[in-house]
Amino acid sequence: MKFLLTLFALCSFFSSSYVLAADSENAKAWLERLSQSLRQLNFNTSFVVVKNNQAEPYHWLHGVDENSLELEILARLNGPRRDILRKGNTVSYIEPEQEVYSVNASSLTGPIPAIFSSDITELESNYRFISVGRSRVLGRAAQLIRVVPKDNHRFGYWLWLDQHSAMLLKLAIISRKGKLLEQVQFTHLDITDSLSENLLQLKATELPKAVAVKEHEANLMWQTSWLPDGFTALKVDRHRMYSNKKAVEFMHFSDGLVDISVYVNPSEDKQRPLEYAHDGATIVLNQVNNAIEVSVVGKIPLNTAKKIANGLVSVVPVHANSEQKP
């Protein structure tokens, strides 16, 4: 009897492992279909970003011309005008009280993480993909896919994809305890065979030339001693803040899905207690230790932001004997 129970337990274990592996492959296949849809389909859609009991509406158009040139428009519908236009690898920004400017980029920066229109394979080291089941969203049959972090240092993402086209219908950012922090709810989706009139106008419009970004290695006085696994530096520099003209050291990190920004600058205060605020899934943390002000911003848990801020260390000169912590 003991042998039979052991054999049954082993069979159950291997059966469960097989189901989990198959489920993960199925979820990945759905995400790959999503990526293709976001890159290849002509669509006209509207969505709202819901956070802090408020809804921010957007209009999003995408298309591909006969020469495989991608065209894209993302417009914020409330408040000051902010439009983002893309023709191929040129992205232009229309913002209030600023001249239109362009940068070189292959995707837009907006409420929908760009990784979902790219290669999601790079997320597999730090996230699991789970196919959960079907539901109904925007009057369509939808497949729910969960992108679940493998550690406690980030949030999970739930995506509802159209059963027919694999287009995104809804996205939610979920805490480790299952709390809804922020969501993107699509309110309209129209997939067409041809480019919309707005995209045809964009195609005929000459966008400003992309601003040349100087590539140089910034020698910062501060660096992070800890980041969650998978986060790498995308940019480090020194610049002045647009709002108050303060000179800051800036570090931008990403794991492919989540971005984290760290700002460091001298402070007139010797000490200041830790302060933080939430904007949906985004944490904005600020503290001053030993006259050094540190700010951490990103869609990450509070404890993750605290650990990054507390782990900041000064870069030790060759002749120095010790490190200084802020």
Q: What is the pLDDT of residue 193?
A: 96
CATH class of the 222-314 domain in this structure: alpha beta
- Please give the average per-residue pLDDT across 74-86, as a whole number: 95
- Please give the average per-residue pLDDT across 280-290, as a whole number: 96
Residue 214: pLDDT band by 50, 70, 90 thresholds?
Answer: low
- Please give the average per-residue pLDDT across 192-200, as a whole number: 97
CATH of range 25-204; options 2.50.20.10, 3.40.640.10, 3.40.630.30, 1.10.287.610: 2.50.20.10
Q: What is the pLDDT of residue 98?
A: 87
Residue 23: pLDDT band by 50, 70, 90 thresholds?
Answer: confident
Q: Mind listing the pLDDT tens digit for each residue in 144-185?
A: 999 999 999 999 999 999 999 999 999 999 999 999 999 999
Phi/psi of residue 28, nearest 5 degrees = -65, -40
Give how far the C-alpha of residue 200 lies from the chain's centroid of Cα atoms, to the nearest Å: 29
Q: What is the pLDDT of residue 302?
A: 98
Q: What is the pLDDT of residue 233?
A: 96
Residue 14: pLDDT band by 50, 70, 90 thresholds?
Answer: very low
Is 308 strand, coil or helix?
helix
What gap in Å lies between CA 89 and CA 60, rounded to an integer? Answer: 17
Q: Mind listing the pLDDT tens digit for each residue in 233-277?
A: 999 988 776 666 678 899 999 999 999 999 999 999 999 999 999
Q: What is the pLDDT of residue 263?
A: 96
- Please give the average per-residue pLDDT across 68-79, as a whole number: 97
pLDDT surpasses 50 at 279: yes
pTM of the model: 0.87
Q: What is the largest CA-CA distance in the chain?
A: 79
What gap in Å lies between CA 236 and CA 275, rounded to an integer? Answer: 24
Domain boundaries along the sequence of the chain: 25-204, 222-314
Within 10 angstroms of residue 314's Cβ, the number of other Cβ atoms is 18
Which residues make Cβ contacts (< 8 Å) with residue 224, sequence separation at least 6?
Answer: 251, 253, 262, 308, 311, 312, 313
Q: What is the pLDDT of residue 299?
A: 99
Q: Mind listing the pLDDT tens digit for each residue in 98-127?
A: 899 999 999 999 999 999 999 999 999 999
pLDDT surpasses 50 at 189: yes
SS (H, E, C) 159-199: EEEECCCCCEEEEEEECCCCCEEEEEEEEEEEEECCCCHHH
Q: Mind listing the pLDDT tens digit for each residue in 296-314?
A: 999 999 999 999 999 999 8
Q: What is the pLDDT of residue 19?
A: 42
Q: What angle do CA 256, 52, 283 make, to 5 degrees?
A: 45
Name which residue leads in pLDDT, 4 or 138. 138
Q: What is the pLDDT of residue 298?
A: 98
Q: What is the pLDDT of residue 215?
A: 54
Q: What is the mean pLDDT of the chain?
A: 89
Phi/psi of residue 15, nearest 5 degrees = -65, -45
Name which residue leads in pLDDT, 66 or 214. 66
pLDDT surpasses 70 at 219: yes
pLDDT surpasses 90 at 91: yes
Give which of 107, 90, 85, 136 is closest to 38, Cα–Cα. Answer: 107
Q: What is the pLDDT of residue 78?
A: 96
DSSP 315: P
Q: What is the pLDDT of residue 241?
A: 66
Which DSSP helix (H) or strand (E) runs through 34? helix 2-40
Give how far the C-alpha of residue 316 lies from the chain's centroid of Cα atoms, to the nearest Å: 32
Residue 325: pLDDT band by 50, 70, 90 thresholds?
Answer: low
Residue 61, amino acid? L
